[in-house]
Structure 1
Amino acid sequence: MYIPTLNDMLAARERISPFVHRTPVLTSRILNELSGAELFFKCENLQKAGAFKARGASNAVFGLSEEQARRGVATHSSGNHGTCLSYAAGRRGIPCTVVMPRTAPQAKKDAVKGYGGTVVECEPSTTSREAVFAEVVAKTGAEFVHPYNDHRVIAGQATCSAELIEQVENLDAVVAPIGGGGMVSGTCLTLSSLAPHLKIYAAEPEQADDAYRSFKAGHIISDDAPDTVADGLKVPLKDLTWHFVRNFVTDIHTASEHEIVDAMKLIWKRLKIVMEPSSAVPLATILKNREIFAGKRVGVIITGGNVDVDKLPWN
């Protein structure tokens, strides 16, 4: 298992700079008052293809040799990684196949196709996803770019927190959502080297809390098919992301479905931005654990904005 380093993040930052945005940081007086903290929202919902995963996908795709690139890329994804890999593959002019749960939001399936990717559907479980994906790779010979358990992907995601600590000085903590752990791992990679005093918190739905239970147990615990409104956070940790979580994360907090939806509404209303339920989980956990964050300067990573506006969770 190759563990990416700060040099991998720096190389990724240079490699992907023509293909991703340096996303803005937003603040809200009302949200500061509600939390008792100073919150700085890193808006990866405004990233290329609508999610932070454009960073890791672009690093993987543009790091391929010409021979690898000719065979194209493939992945399994509930949405954003597949969309972002399709985006990056399209920019390089190579094919991309994405295995997606049949229950994934139609908006995310359409986004993959819109960037030129091919969608192959599977049942909504990790077991089905991995079995169907194995068939796709056997047929195409494509390069597998894992949604998060890939050193190239983690190095790309790590560029997000590198930007954040340049944009906002004197942070005390950073909070990011956790599913498989790609963004959290990238955050750990960067901050453990460049800002080791910062505390790193992961935020997870109560109904998909395998990372929380893994963290408390000291080993990976996987759920095969959790059910939560935060559809981007249903996947389990893997060995590479677990390395970063167990070594560098301060704690993992969880939020209920009701708390996630309420936080999503707050962000829509107060920041005036479109973001998906997974991105609301950090704010939900901050408001739930106000005593931990009160008086602190906290970076909050809003991971994506690819939401089906015809099926908003408060409807």
Structure 2
Amino acid sequence: MSDLPTNKMEAWRWTDMSALEAARATPRASAVPSVEDFWIEDEGPRLVFVDGVFDAARSTPGPVTVEALSADSNHPLAAATAGTGWRVSLDAERAVTDIQIVHVATGGENHLPGRIELGRDAVASVVETYIGTGWSNRLTTLALAEGARLMRSVRILQDSGFVSLRDEATIGQAASLVSIFLGAGGAAARIDGHLHVTGNGGFAEMGGALLTRGDERKECAVTVLHDALDGSSKQYWRAVAADRSAASLAARVDVARGAQKTDGEQSLRGLLLHRTATVNLKPELEIFADDVKCAHGATVGELDKRALFYLKSRGIPHGLATAMLTRAFVADAIDRIGEDTVRKAFTADAERWLTAAL
């Protein structure tokens, strides 16, 4: 790719473009890391992609197909993902759960498109995991027909490099999309989404937790567009920043004319573990309908001193009290994952990060 965005562009001012450039120049390693420790206990379709290429020997894809996909996106990074990717396509009333995809990067840059298409009243759940090093660039296109339901959980555990994820979704009548992200690796990251609620009574949620330390920079940039009656959406994001790192949360809700009875909720909260760290928050609402219920909240601060004092007064050491309150702060986002085994795995990932950071 030659036409990368720059920090002079408003939408990209917080993105760590230097980390992206360094990641794409990383030499590829000769050895491919094992993925065995990254599977969650649930049985189901399993796919492994190494540097954006399907690894059939380590995969059991089941109903998930690997095929050529276009990248019909105007997003400057997502447009580079055209090629052979993965696809979940379910007919009406079908259900496929516990789909797991592990993306392994060994250096350099890799690009991969994915597509999820759910027919009327179809149900699916997908878990994606990113490991390794380099620049991993993804576009995931999602289309949910009437009454379809999708639970999507994504964890970014890459040790180094850069991970850029772009979601573009259309949500039909009474359909539900819930996407929860956890950024707990050492790589810089940008999570980018555009969710379009096109059917009456559609529900869209995109949120999660970004955990940064050292000199890392991670961010999300998400827009939900309501274009139908009685739609609802939630954007719950939590950021924890330690050392000299920076976490940035930009969330937007657009309500079109005629999208009456829309209920849009944003909750952006940042926690500074050290005063040298930075959390940037940018909530936005643009509303053209007159009968809506939309609200946003944005706060950045340190741990509550009264809560710390209360725990210490009960004999809990300062370090343990700090860890308990930080875990509760992160769990506020992770607990929105609807599957017990997936939620426990993500909680364990966050716990490992907190143990190292505190």
TM-score (norm 2): 0.27
Where relative contact order (Cα < 8 A, 6+ residues apart) is larger, the structure is: 1
Q: Which has the larger radius of gyration?
A: 2
Which of the pair is proportionally richer in strand? 2
Select the structure that is richer in helix: 1
